[in-house]
Amino acid sequence: GQQLNQSPQSMFIQEGEDVSMNCTSSSIFNTWLWYKQDPGEGPVLLIALYKAGELTSNGRLTAQFGITRKDSFLNISASIPSDVGIYFCAGLQSIIQGAQKLVFGQGTRLTINP
Amino acid sequence: GAGVSQSPSNKVTEKGKDVELRCDPISGHTALYWYRQSLGQGLEFLIYFQGNSAPDKSGLPSDRFSAERTGGSVSTLTIQRTQQEDSAVYLCASSLGVGFYGYTFGSGTRLTVV
């Protein structure tokens, strides 16, 4: 079942505002990732975090991997219309034979008011 | 191909009918994953293929769901005797191999059971 709790579920903001969303887990993950999904498309990787406490930026995006390895946040600064979409956090979980799979949060739907 | 291709993009079927969903991964990607995205929900893991074998099929929700992969390439997800709760977007992703090299998702198949 779902192991990651993502909040908020939806956000309605004005263009230019900053955005913050976070994800928590009852389990430890050694890698956290943030994805964005545009309507009618599959998710696309935004940022990957590999070390506890790591803070990583990608343009206007900043993400942090929590010290406990059970949480992460994503910030978007100075939002623009193309930031609209659904943002997912994901944790990388080991399965068998050295393989791994992604466990996803429920998503945060971002809407930008004109 | 250049990306992960899924077909059909949309499928409407009557309750009780069988459906087949197809995924063409990126050429050379040995790992293939199926996920299900229900309305307003995150992505739910279904099954993982490494080559033609499925070491982890723990996410398949019932024995009505099955998947196969042939030639280490194309995969087919089959849902027998479809139910309305099967309505969702079915997403396929491929990856270069065992371990995490980054997933590339297809655009998904939107299945509606009426």
Q: In chain A, which residue's Cα lies nearest the Cα of B94?
A: A101
Region B4-22: mean pLDDT is 98
Per the model's pLDDT, the better-predicted residue between B18 and A3 turns out to be: B18
Tell whether A85 is within 8 A of chain B (Cβ): no
Region B80-97: mean pLDDT is 95
pLDDT of residue A66: 95
Tell whether A113 is within 8 A of chain B (Cβ): no
| Alpha-carbon radius of gyration of chain B | 13
Instruction: Decide the pairing of beta strands A108-113 and A10-14.
Output: parallel
Contact call for B103 and A88, based on CB within 8 A: no
- In this complex, how many residue pairs, one in chain A and one in chain B, have their CB atoms less than 8 Å apart? 69
pLDDT in tens, A60-109: 999 999 999 999 999 999 999 999 999 999 998 888 777 888 999 999 99
Q: What is the mean pLDDT of chain B?
A: 93
pLDDT of residue B1: 55
Q: In chain A, which residue's Cα lies nearest the Cα of B108?
A: A42
Contact call for B56 and A41, based on CB within 8 A: no
Looking at chain B, the whole-number percentage of residues with pLDDT higher than 70 is 96
Å between B73 CA and nearest CA of chain A: 18
Contact call for A42 and B108, based on CB within 8 A: yes
Q: Which of A24, A30, A32, A101 to mutate against chain B (most B CBs within 10 Å)?
A: A101
How far is residue B48 from each of residues A17, A62, B81, B85, B107, measured CA to CA in Å? 39, 30, 23, 22, 18
DSSP assignments along A19-62, one per residue? EEEEEEESS--S-EEEEEE-TTS--EEEEEE-STT-EEEETTEE
Q: Which of A4, A21, A102, A103 to mutate against chain B (most B CBs within 10 Å)?
A: A102
Q: Is the pLDDT of residue B78 over 70?
A: yes
pLDDT of residue B109: 98
DSSP assignments along B13-71, one per residue? E-TT--EEEEEE--TT--EEEEEEE-TT--EEEEEEEETTEEEE-TT--STTEEEEE-T
**Selection from B39, B18, B12, B37 nearest residue B93 by Cα:** B37
Cβ(B39)–Cβ(B101) below 8 Å: no
